[in-house]
Structure 1
Amino acid sequence: YAPATIAPLYERLLDTLGSQPGVQSVGMTDDPVLAQNDNTFSIEVPGYQPQEGERMSFEWEHVTPDYFGTLQLPLIAGRVFSNSDGPTTAKVVIVNESFVRKFFGNPDQAIGRTFSERGTKGKSPLLIVGVVKDAKHFDLHDQPKPIFYSPVFQDAEPNAVAVYIRTRQAPEDAGSTVRKAVGGIDSKLVVDSLQSMDAQIDGTLTSERMLSFLASGFGIVAIFVTAIGLYGVLAYSIAQRTREIGIRMALGATQGSVVKMVLREVLTLTGFSVGVALPLSMALSALVKSQLFGISDRDPGTLLLVTLVIGSVAMLAAWAPARRATQVQPITALHYE
């Protein structure tokens, strides 16, 4: 396509996709989410003096006005882009919270401020007109980084490579609708890749899911081995107390009271062990923190679940030998050596 025809083509594409059944909003960008593209530019911010060796290169994305609404990135100050932000108007940008914290302190102080691309003397500065919430744009594991966004249509030759559509349709139905709509605009237009955001996120987590699967498998094996070990130790320990148990039962103790006594002692020992192990595991959790996504390395729910599993395994391992010991006749137990 000739450069002069690209902007009208994009506008027609947005209008066509936005008018399809079930479509709520459509946004375009030149830097797809989670694509891990290196789309950084060096900037200069008036009044900010970089530290020695400080990196002043940040992600720069070009987007259409409805991009933020489509991806549900909330606006927290200022305004979003409009169709009036064109090549002949002031160069405007929207920044994220991390950008604001680094250079301006709070969102209200950022609105109306300017900065420029490094080494571009004579070019118009970039005017901040809005602030949006942080989002993990480059990688799900990284903390949000400073990003600034410009309107696609302020470029003389816009270059958007990804279209995001928010729709009420199921992904498979929406895919068919999109392909037909794009083909209806120009048969030479090709949809290179089409997937839901959930599928895109899943695709970036393949290695993490494999690691989770392996860790779960090793965890199950560890619990099984622990149960066998506990059973062996407790069975031996309770067998050594057969005489004591026989005396207790000869003096009137019931089977139930003896089993409760054994389980109570095991629970006390387990509680002490967990009390020692939990602080140690929390101290060592930093070693695996980088492999976790969507959960803290000190997640209270996970720690509680692990504690309950260990306690349950210990109780089950102790119950069988304790129950068996109470089946021994008191007279036999009294002669036990």
Structure 2
Amino acid sequence: MPLTPITAPFPATRLRRLRRTAALRGLVAENVLSVNDLIWPIFVMEGENDAHPIPSMPGVSRLTLDRAVVAAKEARDLGIPAVCIFPYTQASARTEDCALAWSPDNLSNRVTAAIKSAVPELAIMTDVALDPYNANGHDGIVRDGVIVNDETVDALVKMTLAQAAAGADIIGPSDMMDGRIGAMRHALEADGFQDVAILSYSAKYASAFYGPFRDAVGASGALVGDKKTYQMNPANAEEALRLVARDLSEGADMVMVKPGLPYLDICRRVKDQFGAPTYAYQVSGEYAMITGAGANGWINEEQVMMESLMAFKRAGCDGILTYFAPRVARLLNA
């Protein structure tokens, strides 16, 4: 016999009941941000026992190798599972053939080896792109004003193998050349690095949010032209899904959307369609806007920081590359 509905002067379902206390809100939270979700990008430079603050990224500095090892130990102690290494290269060391990119003794590889020796339990991610080593400032080799794809892929493969040999756990191709994931995966397998993972920057957009990063790696004045012939058009979403599908088919273990907050719709669609480990990069421009507004008292910086990272989790991301990582970890561990 069907039950008679209960009628009341006010709706029986009061959604505010489960928001009444912090304990109740925690019980019904749909997403949780954890220290395990964080990858900490670290900028490194030549020298000894030194750190150079980056004006456009308040609170972030370039670190010498010894200071980078200290930062890696801090990451381990905070429970952050991975750091990502980005080198600052002097203009005098940049060439058109980008040969320093695959030197076993370049700064990135020396820092990787030092961190892996000192903190072996920490995962190390490296960046695979030629822009830190390119006199033209591009992620690929330039011939007669054109960023050439296949020659660049050959260079990126050499760079990948050098980074794997240095001890990288995760290779991060950020160059956006066609076919590079398959070439890298084949080379890693052939050279005995079958356990090295690839986190592909599959959907990397030609964004204006990268400006402070280029300051951090010394590339601001080096770039000739723009990167629109290889990075994605911000107007496109379906193309991002095709890129992710291709990279996964070529052997990527994880995929990334970059930038982060302006592209949460892409993060959600990637996760829903493929179910693969999906990451976002909360890039330098996003970081600078939050810290800049916080410094001026226009927002509560700490609260916005945490809210922004929760947005990535809500959008389906399994993890976030963020310069806020150590600050967030301290708050989560408190």
TM-score range with shorter-chain normalisation?
A: under 0.3
Give the structure-1-normalised TM-score.
Answer: 0.23
More helix by share: 1
Give the structure-2-normalised TM-score.
Answer: 0.23
